[in-house]
Structure 1
């Protein structure tokens, strides 16, 4: 999955979880500013894990503030899973 597909996946999943339109969200957006709290973040990560076939340990989520940081982590875990 390339980066543009990954951002679209994030936008879709975040929209489903928060019940808002996130189609305009860029990688520089702060996740908390989008209205996604810690519970929403766990839901989002869980959905990404299932759909993308990656595992992201909870301790690696500490300090993740932007969409870019989350997508970097997802890509890193996807490479490790191959």
Structure 2
């Protein structure tokens, strides 16, 4: 996706990028509503989130400083952070 196409990140798109960037724990079902499930319960650690953050930064053309990702605990919070950056917030 180019920067010009990136208007907002959805939970579904985030989940796809999460799988592609950080893999998937076979014991965790990512096909359901994971928006408010903590990353630790989904089997992802801070390193995995940094990988995802780097991928989203490249794909969407946004700056996501590592320290901004420190407090992000759920997919919804991550998506909100990205969408805020996309809207200039």
Please indicate the TM-score interval, normalised by the length of the shorter structure: 0.7 to 0.9
- Gapped runs of 5+ residues in structure 1? none
Q: Does 1 or 2 have the higher relative contact order (CA < 8 Å, sep 6+)? A: 2
Gaps of 5+ in 2: 1-6
Cα drift, residue 19 of structure 1: 3.3
For the residue of structure 2 that corresponds to 1:70, the secondary structure is helix
Stretches of 4+ aligned residues off by more than 3 angstroms: none
What TM-score, normalized by structure 1, do the two folds share?
Answer: 0.80
Q: In 2, are the aligned partners of 1:54 and 1:77 still within 8 Å (CA)? A: yes
Distance in 2 of aligned mates of 1:45 and 1:25: 21
Cα deviation for residue 53 of structure 1 reads 1.3
CA shift for structure 1 position 51 = 1.0
TM-score by length of 2: 0.75
Which residue of the other structure, out of 76, 79, 82, is the alignment partner of 2:84?
A: 76
RMSD over aligned Cα, in angstroms? 2.0
Q: How many residues align?
A: 79
Tell me which structure has the larger Cα radius of gyration.
2
Q: Which residue of 1 aligns with 2:48?
A: 40
